[in-house]
């Protein structure tokens, strides 16, 4: 998944920007396949991203996706020992090495999370559950709980698979959380935005299952399309989905509403634009009226 943590960044320098330009800033990370550092001024610290889709393949095709050369499909087999080595090296460099002093402004020298959020859908990897277990163990071994959170950023389309459920259980045991994508509550909008034919009833069932398994936030991206904001119908369907999740007693943590902070890498890019902060805030208010916590990142 393109990383919503990077979407909420606003600058592109090493200390305030998004995923570090590893070729330019640190060749040690350029050799890594699965692990990358993210420095985010808006998020106020450092994140470690785990990319289980190094081939830029996803089972969806969102119009705003920031993965270059995105293709449909799943990832190649993950080399778990290599993933473990890379994560261990990155954690050592961030917690004991020179990473913070070289790349991060003093007030942001805090490691915030390790997030499964790469160039595709992380749960499509058959090794997803083992990868979660490895990451949880690395955090535990360094005694970084609870200040370093383990996160999964997902489109949620595979959470009802047994091996994904197993990974969610590991995530729950590690007091981790899920950011579950929900951009539309209607089949046509979902296809237009996410290239997904997932029906709202199926999305709802998966969302409820996920929230019952592990702490879950809804993450939703809104933007201008051909100069127009999302239609009233689009928003009504989306809110209706949230209402149905609440009616079903899904224990949601809240909703992240975010806009397009950076350009899409998809063919629709030129048709997309940023919504204003007041527009997103007005929508957030409608969600808060339902008793949910909402975080807005225009
Ligand atoms: S779910 Fe959408 S945004 Fe995330 S990686 Fe797949 S296509 Fe990109």
Give the residue, out of 120, 191, 220, with the most ligand 1 atoms within 8 A of its beta carbon, to mutate for a pocket test.
Answer: 120
| Structure confidence at residue 14 (pLDDT) | 33
Q: Which residues pair with 257 in a beta bridge?
A: 220, 296
Quick check: 9 pLDDT over 90?
A: no
The rounded Å distance from CA 120 to ligand 1 centre is 6
Q: How far is the CA of 57 from the centre of ligand 1 (A)?
A: 9
**Per-residue pLDDT averaged across 192-196, rounded?**
97
Q: Environment class of residue 255 by beta-carbon count within 10 Å: exposed (0-12), middle (13-18) or buried (19+)?
A: buried
Using omega within 30 degrees of 0 as the cis cutoff, is the peptide bond preceding 259 cis? no
Say if residue 88 is exposed, middle or buried (CB neighbours under 10 Å; 0-12, 13-18, 19+): middle
Region 96-108: mean pLDDT is 90
Give the span between the Cα atoms of 37 and 91, in whole angstroms.
10
CA gap 292, 298 in Å, rounded = 18
Residue 139 makes CB contacts below 8 A (sequence gap 6+) with 114, 145, 148, 150, 174
Q: pTM to 2 decimals?
A: 0.92
Residues within 6 Å of ligand 1 by CB: 1-2, 58, 60-62, 65, 67, 70, 120-121, 155, 194
How far, in Å, from the CA of 38 to the mean position of ligand 1? 18
The protein residue with its alpha carbon nearest to ligand 1, atom 2, reads: 62
For the chain, first and last CA: distance in Å? 18
β-pairing, 224-225 vs 272-273, is: antiparallel
> Which residue, by CA, sits nearest to atom 7 of ligand 1?
61
Residue 72: is it exposed, middle or buried by C-beta count within 10 angstroms (0-12/13-18/19+)? exposed
Q: Where residue 118 falls among pLDDT bands split at 50, 70, 90?
A: confident
């Amino acid at each position: 998944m393109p990383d919503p943590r990077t979407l909420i960044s606003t600058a592109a320098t090493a200390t305030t920007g998004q995923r570090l330009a590893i070729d330019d800033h640190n060749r040690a990370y350029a050799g890594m396949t699965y692990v990358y550092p993210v420095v985010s001024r808006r998020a106020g610290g450092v994140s470690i991203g785990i990319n289980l889709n190094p081939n830029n393949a996803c089972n969806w095709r969102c119009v705003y996706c920031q993965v270059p050369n995105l293709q449909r499909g799943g990832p190649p087999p993950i080399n778990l020992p290599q993933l473990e080595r890379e994560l261990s090296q990155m954690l050592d460099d961030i917690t004991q090495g020179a990473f913070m002093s070289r790349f991060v402004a003093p007030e942001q020298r805090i490691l915030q999370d390790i997030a499964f959020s790469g160039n595709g859908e992380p749960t499509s990897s058959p090794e997803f559950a083992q990868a979660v277990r490895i990451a949880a163990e690395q955090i535990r071994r360094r005694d970084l709980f609870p200040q370093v959170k383990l996160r999964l950023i997902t489109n949620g389309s595979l959470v009802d698979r047994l091996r994904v459920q197993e990974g969610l259980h590991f995530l729950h045991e590690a007091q981790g959380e899920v950011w579950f994508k929900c951009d539309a509550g209607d089949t046509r909008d979902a296809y237009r935005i996410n290239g997904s034919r997932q029906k709202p009833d199926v999305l709802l069932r998966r969302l409820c299952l996920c929230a019952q398994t592990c702490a879950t936030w809804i993450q939703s991206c809104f933007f201008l399309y051909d100069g127009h904001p999302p239609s009233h119908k689009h928003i009504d369907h989306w809110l209706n989905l949230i209402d149905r999740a609440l009616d079903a007693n899904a224990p949601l943590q809240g909703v992240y509403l975010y806009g397009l902070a950076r350009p899409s890498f998809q063919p629709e890019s030129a048709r997309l634009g940023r919504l204003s902060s007041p527009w997103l805030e007005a929508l957030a208010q409608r969600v808060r009226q339902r008793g949910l916590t909402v975080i807005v990142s225009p």
